[in-house]
């Protein structure tokens, strides 16, 4: 046996910087969540966790790249609910989200808000619903590509309103919301980690949040249930993954560092300020993430009846 732990069993992991792939543009919700935990995780592990944005195709480009990385713990993926929707959305997905990854743990739960550019006209969800129904062939909806959370929310919104509106794909919700603020695109369903600042700053018009109860961070914003869309309840869960076959010693070190980061009061405060919540302790584990991924993959496989991408 190797003394001092050879590279293959990860006993001395980490001995160099760790790359975390974020499969969407910098400055968006996934990037925000990742950067909030990367620094405290790196401090715990004694190595820098460097965020690498690998955009495109609703997060499937970055996830695919992570699935092919060496299983040595130096290339990780931080991705969200899209890990569970992509198999139903893409005929030929270049990876299997359950077989090709070793889950580390759930990182965050993030609600979504329905927002529009300020001069669209409607001011309540009722008025927006009517406006969408009356202008469905001209109104534009921004999303981050097929497989993104914003695309999933858009799908649910179309079904709730019985409409089919035009979608404008971006490489992330960061650039997308910039165009909602700028007025180049009409409306969007996006995560509070990305919209809270713009809503509080009055740069966009907000209509509803997809949580059962109102958020402390956005107390004036109606829930979708209050706004007459009870089926539009959605929490964007985020998980940290390593490639399948990554040594167990590496996974457990990453799991410990994730739990330490999520126990950090500064992280919890940042999350709550952005409407996000820290997952339950038992979900900050490989088993917790694996269970959530399996359950959600089955759920969305049912809901998303035909592939889109």
CB of 143 to ligand MLT, least distance (A): 6
Residue from 10, 64, 172, 286 touching ligand MLT (CB under 6 A): that is 172
Residue from 10, 14, 20, 24 touching ligand MLT (CB under 6 A): that is 24
Q: Which of residues 61-120 bind ligand MLT (CB under 6 A)?
A: 80, 82
> Concatenated DSSP letters for the chain?
--TT--TTTTTT--SS-EEEEESS-TTSHHHHHHHHHHHHHHHHHTS-EEEEE---GGGHHHHHHHHTS-SSSSEEEEE-THHHHHHHH-TT-SS-TTTSEEEEEEEEEEEEEEEE-TTSS--SHHHHHHHHHHSTTT-EEEES-TTSHHHHHHHHHHHHHT---EEEE-SSHHHHHHHHHHTSS-EEEEEHHHHHHHHHTTSSEEEEESSSS-BTTBTTSPBTTTTT-TT---EEEEEEEEETT--HHHHHHHHHHHHHHHH-HHHHHHHHHTT-BPPPGGGSSHHHHHHHHHHHHHHHHHHS-S---
Residue whose structure tokens are 């690498």: 52
Residue 60 in contact with ligand MLT, rule: CB under 6 A:
no
Q: Which of residues 184-243 bind ligand MLT (CB under 6 A)?
A: none
Nearer to ligand MLT (CB atom), residue 111 or residue 172 = 172
Residue from 14, 29, 154, 279 touching ligand MLT (CB under 6 A): that is 29
Nearer to ligand MLT (CB atom), residue 177 or residue 257 = 177
Q: Considering CB under 6 A, how many residues would be counted as binding ligand MLT? A: 15
Residue from 71, 174, 247, 286 touching ligand MLT (CB under 6 A): that is 174
CB of 82 to ligand MLT, least distance (A): 6
The answer for 168, left when phi > 0, alpha when psi is -120 to 50, beta otherwise, is beta
Nearer to ligand MLT (CB atom), residue 7 or residue 51 = 51
Nearer to ligand MLT (CB atom), residue 29 or residue 288 = 29
Cα separation of 58 and 86, whole Å?
Answer: 9
Nearer to ligand MLT (CB atom), residue 14 or residue 82 = 82
Stretch that binds ligand MLT, among 25-33, 85-93, 134-142, 213-221 (CB under 6 A): 25-33
Stretch that binds ligand MLT, among 1-9, 24-32, 160-168, 248-256 (CB under 6 A): 24-32
Binding-site string for ligand MLT from residue 130 to residue 149, where x marks contact by CB under 6 A and - marks none: --------------x---xx
Q: Site residues (CB under 6 A) for ligand MLT? A: 24-25, 28-31, 80, 82, 144, 148-150, 172-174
């Amino acid at each position: 046996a190797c003394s001092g732990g050879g590279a293959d069993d990860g006993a001395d992991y980490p001995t160099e910087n760790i790359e975390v792939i974020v499969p969407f543009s910098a400055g968006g919700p996934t990037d925000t969540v990742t950067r909030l935990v990367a620094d405290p995780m790196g401090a715990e592990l004694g190595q820098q966790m460097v965020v690498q944005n690998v955009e495109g195709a609703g997060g499937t480009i970055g996830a695919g790249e992570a699935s092919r990385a060496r299983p040595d713990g130096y290339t990780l993926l931080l991705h969200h609910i899209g890990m569970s929707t992509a198999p139903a959305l893409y005929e030929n997905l270049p990876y299997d989200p359950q077989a090709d990854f070793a889950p580390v743990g759930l990182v965050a739960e993030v609600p979504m808000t329905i927002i529009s550019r300020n001069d669209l006209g409607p001011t309540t969800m009722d008025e927006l619903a009517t406006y969408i129904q009356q202008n469905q062939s001209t109104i534009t909806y921004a999303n981050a590509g097929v497989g993104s959370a914003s695309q999933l929310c858009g799908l649910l919104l179309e079904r709730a309103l019985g409409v089919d509106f035009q979608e404008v794909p971006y490489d992330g919700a960061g650039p997308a919301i910039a165009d909602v603020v700028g007025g180049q695109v009409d409306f969007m369903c996006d995560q509070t980690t990305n919209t809270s600042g713009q809503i509080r700053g009055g740069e966009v018009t907000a209509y509803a949040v997809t949580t059962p109860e109102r958020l402390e961070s956005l107390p004036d914003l109606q829930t979708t249930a209050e706004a007459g869309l009870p089926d539009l309840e959605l929490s964007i869960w985020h998980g940290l993954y390593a490639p399948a076959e990554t040594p167990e010693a590496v996974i457990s070190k990453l799991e410990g560092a994730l739990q330490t980061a999520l126990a950090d009061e500064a992280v919890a405060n940042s999350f709550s300020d952005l409407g996000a919540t820290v997952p339950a302790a038992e979900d900050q584990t490989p088993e917790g993430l694996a269970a959530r991924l399996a359950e959600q993959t089955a759920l969305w496989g049912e809901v998303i009846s035909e592939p889109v991408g």
